[in-house]
Structure 1
Amino acid sequence: MDAVAPARREPQPAARPSRTEAEPQEPGPAPAASADEAAEEQQAITVTGTRISGFTAPTPVTSLNQADLQAKAASTVADLLDDVPQLRINQNIGKSSEPVGASNADLRGLGTQRTLLLIDGRRVAFTDPAGTIDTNIVPVALISSIEIVTGGASAAYGSDAVAGVVNFMLDKNLKGLKLDLSYGESVYDDHHRPAISAAYGIGLLDDRLHLTVAADYMHNDGQTAQGTRPWGDDKTALLTNPAYTATNGQPRLLIANNSRFTQMTAGGVLTRAIGLQIAQRLGFPAGTGVQFGPGGTVIPFNYGTNIGGTYMTGGDGATLVDEGNILPEIERITGYAGMRYELSDKVTMFADFLYSRVNVLSDLSPNRDDAGFTVRNDNAYLPSAVRIAMAAQGVSSITVGRMNFEDQTSLFDNATDVKRLTFGLEGSFGNGWRWDVSAQISRNSYESISYYNRIANRWTLGLDAVTNPATGQPICRALLNNPNPTAAQDPYGDIRNCVPINPFGAGSINQAALNYYRGTSWTRSRQEQDVFAANLSGSPFRTWAGDVKFAVGAEYRREKTSLTSDADSALRRWRSINSQPFAGEFTVKEGYAEVVVPLANGVAWADNLDLNGAIRYTDYELSGGVTTWKVGASYSPVPDLRFRATLSRDIRAPNNYELFQRGNQVISAIVDPRTNISRPTLQITSGNTALVPERADTLTAGVIFQPGFLPGLRASIDYYRIAIKQAISTIAPQSIVDYCNQGRTEFCSGVVRDPATQNITQINVIPFNADSLKTSGVDVELQYRFQLFGGQLSLRGLANYVAEISTTSNGITNDFVGLVGLAPPPVGLPEWRFNLDANYAVGPWKLGVGYRYVDGGKFDTRFNITTLDLIDNTVPGRGYVDLNASYKLNSAVELYGRVENLFNVDPPITPNSIATPTVANSPFYDRRGAYFVIGGRIRL
């Protein structure tokens, strides 16, 4: 969407505290307002969160300007935004089927889909089929500032601006060349990151034509295992406690080191129940099981302690804990070309094209059989000692668990391509009226390739190998019984091509078997967005206090997503992922109006008083019409003090993925409350075309203090409250199981159990408009600039206090303030986050130090309420010190360096229970360790 270009800004009392900025200035008298603000008096400005510029907006806005961006020495948008306490940058680090490597902005912890991303005031199209936006696509080379609206803005910008807006402003008036080269690496000599960015702008035809081009490249070799870190090499995992009962005082879960699989090894191990019996028949020591060593030799399997369904402490089981990812490998290329041409003094034509490609490589665990596979007593590869023991025990089959390292580590290779063309006209007429018409065409593609996946049916057929009586060689039972299957019996050639598989002993699976059952699955999607918009703004008349400012506009938007996958995925033949093809499309028509009415200016009781109102009507093709609105006020009783408040109704409409997705599947650990045993469980997720837009009521209120007696000091404090009704949510699979077990029968239809064993075999998950979400808290910002020893010292502090972030589902409310131990879902936030920065500029030097603090809290705020879930449910906070410095060799060349997490502070240990557990699972704390960046900038 395009923000309305404003009329010339009238002089305002004092500065605009709604865009609090802290840009270091060259030595000189400390100004009352920043250099940026002084420039705004001379040219048009854009204020995110409102369609009207040239007044002090009542909605809080946090800004990062060019000096802030340079001090960060950032190569990605995630680096730039990581220090904003109201934001959480979610990055999928791998070991998952979601868009790996994507960095998604999440304001207030309400979910990435509720934060609207803009580039130059225009909506950014989704970059993946799940309906999220990878911020890696934004061209870092051209970012001139970032404005973050920390309150609802749907009346101004439409759907998704429930938690707020992040607007990336690009430098389209650049003249000359900018070049930036840098290199970063961690103190552990990994995460090597070379980066280069360049931008060039030139004015032609008497400066009526302006051309801008830019490109940047970044490669982070990432893909570092947590076992390379001192805090990550103890094989820590979250275990179920087999000794737990509801009344014996034992905790339900344990966090323990030296965690190993209870029933998986590289060569195979009998599952515990049958393993103990067969071991006794084999004469093994009491309490041991049976595993298969090199060449299929039968040897004892030693159990550890705390023996659960997935993990135990110690023992002979395999482990993948050391392989948990810290970051994936990311390579990014972006390119930009823009043109502005003055057709006349009143009309300008503009066009720009953005291209971005982000490649991400990440690994998963090798194919595995947590719950085991069945081996009959006539299996061709079954060691004779076990066959004899089975006969003595009177069993005809056994269950074997195995880590199939022969399959190689599964790899995710993801690629995101973004193509975004914007063009239009803008101009002015009359006394300060501005207009624009624009079109935006986005064609984004996403591809995810999963290497070394496994076709489940072929694995099962190959394992069921018997001896061919005609040759004495192993053969698949299905092929022996049906050597010439019909097309109906064998539509995919699984039987005709079957290769027997020997699972006994590490390295026993040969290449022919691997070629039979192992392969590559893929998903490709295309996200299309077309936006056509027209805007008009100006001042229709004056009141006694000044010009009434007015904006009106209309927009048409089309959103389409189509997803395809390989044939085996469509048929759900792979062990994991199995993306299901779907296509969905909807259109949106909307119109808005916004007005600012000055009621007082320079009178005895008010230095300034403005009222701001906006309304937008949106007609969704699938769910009908909805109205959003905003009312706000800005009041300065004296120039040094301003009060602001906004009340708004905001919306988020369901995206194509939530509406139309078809039965995608993942496998992850689920704890069955009936047995307290964790098992890998299939989860099927699908869309819901009956979804309607969710609605949010947002209140912000604050005060800004800028004393005239102390130039350079500004402070603001703002309260916020967001309440979302009909929230679109997908209940976490574990919660579906727990709710069903608690007697909430509406969830039991989603839990599928095996009729014989009553083990959970599948969980069905769909989104619905059933939740309520609430959050409230306080934002604080303080900055002070003053002269010191011939230079200028700039101090800035940002803080966020979260009083509530809760969900209510089916009458049950959970508050997640202080939930910092788990990655989402569920959503959780630290109670406190704050950043303190001090930057000193003198002569050619700029020096800076920053301190970031993330509060601690609980592993899970729902723990230890009605049961003892963990002995210690607390997670300690962390503080990080960063340093930055730069030196100008001359007017064109600057050298710089930065250190993040100077003291190499380790993250708190917060593990999860998946097969490749993340030891430091919280998204809030640094896992990379001390990180060093050096570089140089050239400006010609």
Structure 2
Amino acid sequence: MDIKGEARFVSAVICLMGTTSFMGLAAPAAAQDAASAPAGLSKGAAEDGAASDIVVTGSRIRRANEVQSTPVATLGAAELASRGTVNVVEALSALPAVGANSLSPSGAPRNTLLAGLYTVDLRALGSSRTLVLVDGKRYVSGLQGSSAVDISTIPTDLIDRVEVTTGGASAVYGSDAIAGVVNFVLKKKVDGLQLRAQSGISSRGDAGQYKLGLIGGGSFADDRGGFVFYANYDRTRPVFAANRSISSDGVAVADPTRPDLALFGPASYTSLRTTQGVFGLNGATVTGATIRRTVLPDGTIATPLGSRDGDNPNEYNIIYSPSERYMFGARLNYELGSDINLTIDGSYAHNDTLQRFEPTFLNSGSSNIGGPTGLSNTIPVSNPFVPAALRALIPAGRTDISFARDFTEFGPRDLDYTRQLYRFVAGLDGKFEVMGRNWSWEAYYEYGRTTLDETMRNGIDTQRFYQSQRVEANGAGGYRCVDAAARAQGCIPVNLFTGQPLTQAEIAWLGASATIHSTNTQQVAAASVTGDLFNITTSPVAFAAGVEWRKESSNYVPSEALRNGLISLQYAGITKGDFTVKEAFAELTVPLLEGVPLVDYLEVEGAYRYADYSISGGASSWKVGGTYRPFSGLRFRGIYAKAVRAPNINDLFRGATGNLANVSDPCRGGGTTSARQQYCLAQPGISAGFNPPATTQVQQSVVGNPNLTPEIAHTLTLGGVLTPSFVRGLSLSVDYFRIKIDDAITSLAAQTVIDQCANTNDPVYCSTVIRDTASGVILRNNSVPINAAQELLKGIDVELAYRTRIDAVPGIGRLGDTLSLQLNYTRTIAYDTAPFDGAPTIKLRGQPFYPANKGNLQLTYVNGPLSASLNERYIGKVYRVVGGTFDGNAVPSFWYTDVQFKYDISEQFAFYAGMNNATDKKPPFFPVPYVGTSTGTNTAASVYDLRGRFMYAGVTVKF
């Protein structure tokens, strides 16, 4: 849909809303006494807004919710409870505005930092562009060096509501609010105790969940003081890849862009993942069956790629991570005087999580050996263990043999994570009057700290492996390691050519483990004031202003083995850094007209924030907008804003983390264009006849860039809200959104950087390409994040809320029941990205992680003590390859059905039971190349449900 098409769509919706509203002018006045909740608001939030002015996420000014210009979707405590959530993650994932990321326990099992971490990613723009608040205050990050908050550390039972506003909100809240803000509003008052116990299990007998939660509170000192506390324990059991048909076998794709799509299953891929090993005879990376051999257990030399048994890596993998979490905290508030209050909050959370991968796989072309040490990952021909039959096949002049082998003797690679969070907030707030007008103020200090301790087990020490393959005769009829220093440490020659498992002594020599310790620390000191200035209409001109100081620091320390690339993973350097930011902000709302013909209410607003970062300098953000209500029941709203995301510590100070990349040298043959020729021939060692291999492997080291500047986004939201008086309890909102990000921070692939260097001779790219000064060949690419990418996202949000009483049914009689409906729908019109200016546009809309259509429908029925809810989650059609025409490219739309029944046995005791994915919908098949990253699941695990039908039951008891 082009811009004109979008405009027509929005105009049509606005006209429809206007026409419907005018029809309502003739409705009886008596119908107007039915207050209906704005779209997305729970009943409690709606009633609060009707009773008095409140502060809603998106603004710091206290005012009636029906004149807010920023769309806000709210999940109330009742909605959270109706989903049977162990933590709030599961409820948030149903909102269409929430993108697919690590919200699911199976969302990112292959990432060695994300296990047990649950972040929010509004609009699928990345969790670093979504700001998470708790009671309107920032929350310390759970991921080293980033701003991503682990929302599983927020106690679900204490949440009063979750307010989600989309669109740029940096002028109000600061950096990171490009996609929007998620604000968790906790309960301020609890009387007595409430205990909740819940247990659940999948229909296959795994993925068990257990939860025990306690909240309580009371008052003291003649109600001048109050306290709230909570304690929570929950545990989740794993799901193994072997226990789901879609993930039980590993697969690969020949070429996803061709109509003759071919999938390779166990008979093909496992011969390349054998425990006996595959050996290349040309001294290069294994590339073809005609030059590869396998030594079978009986000593026979065979050609691989036959229909032989091998090792299935997916039989070891955990695809739904287990976890054990406990948390507790308390809040104390006390009236120090008639107009001043003290609030103190403290919280702690602890989470243990396990990831399990297939055993270590080493090959001569992998990134497992290399790192800063630069060890050669091959077996020398001089190795006396090379069988004579294999040696006879080695071409003359070759000195090395390449290899590939699964080291199943070591067992699966386990990664254990322990995450901890500490948070403390102390603040004062109060009220005062200026010339008879009410003002309020707040000042607080917040300290937050998260830690991660990670242990990697069952790896291979790649330096010891290197030493074990450099073997010589020991003069006594046996063999020894060539390296004397290694012998002194106990080096054992390892014979990979027996076709038999390694011995226990060999396993003990080669085995390795590693650890990572990281911390994030956040400190915030802020003060703000808000109140009324004067009146133009009957509603006052309101103002808010404040200052904020924030310090972020992070420390990521891998063990020495990881820092030196001596374990069978990647090498990773120390990341350590911090920055501070000083900010000042102001916000103003100005009601212009009120209660005149065709203008029941008209208001404009604006906000501005200036931030001074210790690393990247000054940055400003702003917003302008307004609300127009021609008459009761119809409201139009709009916001245009500039938002920013400052580079985080990982962007700025990331320690060198490396792997290997296959690249083609654009200078091969002296360059193919005049621009390339000019660059290439200026490089030492390169002449017109320069002829390196067509493809070669180079070290790629990813490091931080302290010269980064903030990302800049311009966001637009236009829409309207219809609450017709002739349909009591109905609310409909439609909003168009557009987010354009310039100078987005991105890390380019090694080939892209090398090509751009040759094409432009720009030092931004060329400074990271390291060539040998004698031969001219590329040795390394020091990849750094740069401000180069562009992103454009456009779409439509629709929210429909309806609540009614069923007073009577013919033939049944009076019921007095309540029926409510909540529909949220998002249509993505476009999601385009470009890695740098002038690069081809990448169309993300319609890819597995970016469906064009998403929706959620919830129906709730209440009859006295009995309530029932039905939740339908919709994921629209996606394509394995956007623009592809081959059979099976389109993946049809999905519906997930969740149900729950609850019965209040008494005021103190309630029982509930439910079923998620009640129809046991199986996920679609997405091999690795389609989704861009390996998850070991053969599907887009954070989009579709891997667990299957899940049943649960629980009780709540109040004292």
Same fold (TM over 0.5): yes
SS at match of 2:586: strand
Cα distance in 2, alignment partners of residues 669 and 907 from structure 1: 32
Cα distance in 2, alignment partners of residues 18 and 878 from structure 1: 29
- The structural deviation recorded for 1:396 is 5.2
Q: How does 1:746-785 map to 2 (within 5 A)?
A: 764-785=782-803
**Residue 570 (structure 2) pairs with residue 580 (structure 1):** no
Question: Of 293, 296, 312, which aligns to 2:296?
Answer: 293
- The structural deviation recorded for 1:250 is 5.5
- The structural deviation recorded for 1:875 is 2.9
Cα distance in 1, alignment partners of residues 837 and 285 from structure 2: 44
**Residue 200 (structure 2) pairs with residue 195 (structure 1):** no
- Residues 118, 151 of structure 2: 8 Å contact kept: yes
Question: Of 222, 225, 232, which aligns to 2:240?
Answer: 225
Question: Of 852, 867, 875, which aligns to 1:846?
Answer: 867
Cα distance in 2, alignment partners of residues 424 and 174 from structure 1: 20
SS at match of 1:432: strand
Question: Of 317, 321, 334, which aligns to 2:327?
Answer: 334
- Residues 182, 195 of structure 1: 8 Å contact kept: yes
Check 1:356–1:667 CA distance in 2 against 1; reply closer, same or farther (3 A cut): farther
User: Which residue does 2:482 correspond to in 1?
Assistant: 477
Cα distance in 2, alignment partners of residues 275 and 659 from structure 1: 37
Cα distance in 2, alignment partners of residues 659 and 275 from structure 1: 37
- The structural deviation recorded for 1:632 is 1.3
User: Which residue does 1:440 correspond to in 2?
Assistant: 446
User: Which residue does 1:244 correspond to in 2?
Assistant: none
- Residues 912, 919 of structure 1: 8 Å contact kept: yes
**Amino acid of the residue matched to residue 154 of structure 1?**
S
List runs of 5+ in structure 1 lacking aligned partners: 1-12, 24-33, 242-248, 280-285, 305-313, 480-484, 486-492, 822-827
- Residues 502, 508 of structure 1: 8 Å contact kept: no
- The structural deviation recorded for 1:760 is 9.2
Cα distance in 2, alignment partners of residues 354 and 16 from structure 1: 38
Cα distance in 1, alignment partners of residues 301 and 339 from structure 2: 87
Q: Tell which deviates more after alignment, 407-416 or 436-445.
A: 407-416
Check 1:142–1:669 CA distance in 2 against 1; reply closer, same or farther (3 A cut): farther
- Residues 422, 438 of structure 1: 8 Å contact kept: yes
| Identity across the alignment (%) | 29
Question: Of 883, 906, 912, which aligns to 2:899?
Answer: 883
- The structural deviation recorded for 1:67 is 1.1
- The structural deviation recorded for 1:623 is 1.7
Question: Of 540, 557, 563, which aligns to 2:556?
Answer: 563
- Residues 663, 697 of structure 2: 8 Å contact kept: yes
- Residues 590, 617 of structure 1: 8 Å contact kept: yes
Q: Map Cα deviations across residues 777-817 of structure 1 (whole Å, 9 max, x no partner).
A: 00000011112252111111100011111112231242434
User: Which residue does 2:423 correspond to in 1?
Assistant: 420
State the TM-score, normalizing by the size of structure 2. Answer: 0.84
- Residues 93, 328 of structure 1: 8 Å contact kept: no
Q: Tell which deviates more after alignment, 768-777 or 314-323.
A: 314-323
Check 1:410–1:251 CA distance in 2 against 1; reply closer, same or farther (3 A cut): same
User: Which residue does 1:528 correspond to in 2?
Assistant: 521
User: Which residue does 1:173 correspond to in 2?
Assistant: 189
User: Which residue does 1:264 correspond to in 2?
Assistant: 273
**Amino acid of the residue matched to residue 804 of structure 2?**
F
Cα distance in 1, alignment partners of residues 642 and 515 from structure 2: 41
User: Which residue does 2:738 correspond to in 1?
Assistant: 721
- Residues 88, 152 of structure 2: 8 Å contact kept: yes
User: Which residue does 1:30 correspond to in 2?
Assistant: none
- The structural deviation recorded for 1:269 is 2.0
Q: How does 1:64-463 map to 2 (within 5 A)?
A: 64-91=75-102, 92-131=107-146, 132-222=148-238, 224-239=239-254, 254-258=262-266, 259-261=268-270, 263-271=272-280, 290-294=293-297, 297-304=299-306, 315-371=308-364, 373-390=377-394, 397-430=400-433, 431-463=437-469
RMSD: 3.4
SS at match of 1:406: helix
Q: Tell which deviates more after alignment, 610-619 or 111-120.
A: 610-619
Cα distance in 1, alignment partners of residues 830 and 402 from structure 2: 48
User: Which residue does 1:541 correspond to in 2?
Assistant: 534
- Equivalent pairs counted in the alignment come to 869
Question: Of 710, 713, 719, which aligns to 1:693?
Answer: 710
- Residues 627, 635 of structure 2: 8 Å contact kept: yes
- Residues 370, 680 of structure 1: 8 Å contact kept: no
- Residues 571, 658 of structure 2: 8 Å contact kept: yes
Cα distance in 2, alignment partners of residues 435 and 856 from structure 1: 49
**Amino acid of the residue matched to residue 735 of structure 2?**
D
**Residue 804 (structure 2) pairs with residue 786 (structure 1):** yes
**Amino acid of the residue matched to residue 700 of structure 1?**
T
Check 1:620–1:375 CA distance in 2 against 1; reply closer, same or farther (3 A cut): closer
SS at match of 2:246: helix
User: Which residue does 1:28 correspond to in 2?
Assistant: none
Cα distance in 2, alignment partners of residues 901 and 176 from structure 1: 35
State the TM-score, normalizing by the size of structure 1. Answer: 0.86
User: Which residue does 1:805 correspond to in 2?
Assistant: 831
Cα distance in 1, alignment partners of residues 953 and 392 from structure 2: 67
**Amino acid of the residue matched to residue 950 of structure 2?**
Y
Cα distance in 2, alignment partners of residues 494 and 569 from structure 1: 23
Cα distance in 2, alignment partners of residues 717 and 211 from structure 1: 40
SS at match of 2:337: coil
Q: Map Cα deviations across residues 547-594 of structure 1 (whole Å, 9 max, x no partner).
A: 111111111111111222212223332232333113211111111111
Question: Of 66, 69, 74, which aligns to 1:58?
Answer: 69
Check 1:887–1:46 CA distance in 2 against 1; reply closer, same or farther (3 A cut): same
Q: Map Cα deviations across residues 30-87 of structure 1 (whole Å, 9 max, x no partner).
A: xxxx443333454663310101121321011110001101101101221120110000
SS at match of 2:120: strand
Cα distance in 2, alignment partners of residues 873 and 274 from structure 1: 39
Question: Of 610, 613, 629, which aligns to 2:606?
Answer: 613
Cα distance in 2, alignment partners of residues 424 and 276 from structure 1: 62
SS at match of 1:93: coil
Cα distance in 1, alignment partners of residues 663 and 160 from structure 2: 46
Cα distance in 1, alignment partners of residues 439 and 34 from structure 2: 24
- Residues 217, 333 of structure 1: 8 Å contact kept: yes
Cα distance in 1, alignment partners of residues 254 and 761 from structure 2: 26
**Amino acid of the residue matched to residue 434 of structure 1?**
S
**Amino acid of the residue matched to residue 697 of structure 1?**
H
User: Which residue does 1:488 correspond to in 2?
Assistant: none
Cα distance in 2, alignment partners of residues 211 and 405 from structure 1: 55
Cα distance in 2, alignment partners of residues 425 and 501 from structure 1: 67
- The structural deviation recorded for 1:611 is 1.4
Cα distance in 1, alignment partners of residues 925 and 622 from structure 2: 44
- Residues 80, 88 of structure 2: 8 Å contact kept: no
- Residues 577, 666 of structure 1: 8 Å contact kept: yes
User: Which residue does 1:499 correspond to in 2?
Assistant: 492
Cα distance in 2, alignment partners of residues 236 and 678 from structure 1: 25
SS at match of 2:496: coil
Q: Tell which deviates more after alignment, 659-668 or 616-625.
A: 659-668
- The structural deviation recorded for 1:678 is 11
- Residues 236, 257 of structure 1: 8 Å contact kept: yes
- The structural deviation recorded for 1:496 is 4.0
- The structural deviation recorded for 1:679 is 10
Cα distance in 2, alignment partners of residues 735 and 879 from structure 1: 39
- Residues 301, 390 of structure 2: 8 Å contact kept: no
SS at match of 2:231: strand
- The structural deviation recorded for 1:99 is 2.4
**Residue 929 (structure 2) pairs with residue 927 (structure 1):** no
- The structural deviation recorded for 1:420 is 0.8
- Residues 236, 321 of structure 1: 8 Å contact kept: no
Q: Tell which deviates more after alignment, 449-458 or 159-168.
A: 449-458
Cα distance in 1, alignment partners of residues 694 and 916 from structure 2: 41
- Residues 211, 235 of structure 2: 8 Å contact kept: yes
